[in-house]
Structure 1
Amino acid sequence: MDRGMPGEARRRQLTVDVRRMGSGAVVTPAGELDHHSAEKLRSPLDECVADGCYPIVIDCSALEFCDSTGLNVLLATRMDAEAAGGQVHLAGMRPIVARVFEITGAGAVFTLHGSLDDALAALPAD
Structure 2
Amino acid sequence: MPSSATEGPGPAADRLRVDLRLHDRAVVVSAAGELDQDSVGLLHERLVEALGTPGADRLVVDCARLLFCDSTGLNALLTARRDAESAGRELVLADLQPAVARVFEITGAGAVFEIRPDLESAVAR
Give your verdict on TM over 0.5. Answer: yes
Structure 2 Cα separation of the partners of residues 78 and 95 of structure 1: 21
Name the structure 1 match of 2:4: none
Q: What is the aligned-residue identity percentage? A: 49
Kept after mapping to 2: 8 A contact 1:30/1:62: yes
Q: CA deviation at 1:50?
A: 2.8
Indicate which of 92, 97, 100 corresponds to 2:103: 100
Name the structure 2 match of 1:82: 85
Residue 63 in 1 paired to residue 66 in 2?
yes
RMSD, aligned CA: 1.8
In structure 1, what residue type is equivalent to 2:52?
A: A
Indicate which of 106, 116, 119 corresponds to 1:116: 119
Structure 2: stretches of 5+ with no match in the other structure: 1-9
Structure 2 Cα separation of the partners of residues 118 and 107 of structure 1: 17
Q: CA deviation at 1:94?
A: 0.6
Kept after mapping to 2: 8 A contact 1:12/1:32: no
Kept after mapping to 2: 8 A contact 1:28/1:58: yes
Residue 43 in 1 paired to residue 45 in 2?
yes
TM-score (norm 1): 0.84
Deviates more, 1:47-56 or 1:95-104: 47-56
The secondary structure found in structure 1 opposite 2:64 is: coil
In structure 2, what residue type is equivalent to 1:26?
A: V
Q: CA deviation at 1:12?
A: 5.2
Residues 120/23 of structure 1: CA separation in 2 closer, same or farther (3 Å cut) = closer
Number of equivalent positions: 114
The secondary structure found in structure 1 opposite 2:29 is: strand
Structure 2 Cα separation of the partners of residues 96 and 89 of structure 1: 18
Structure 2 Cα separation of the partners of residues 113 and 12 of structure 1: 27
Structure 1: stretches of 5+ with no match in the other structure: 1-7
Structure 2 Cα separation of the partners of residues 55 and 13 of structure 1: 26
The secondary structure found in structure 2 opposite 1:51 is: coil
The secondary structure found in structure 2 opposite 1:30 is: strand
Bigger Rg over Cα? 1
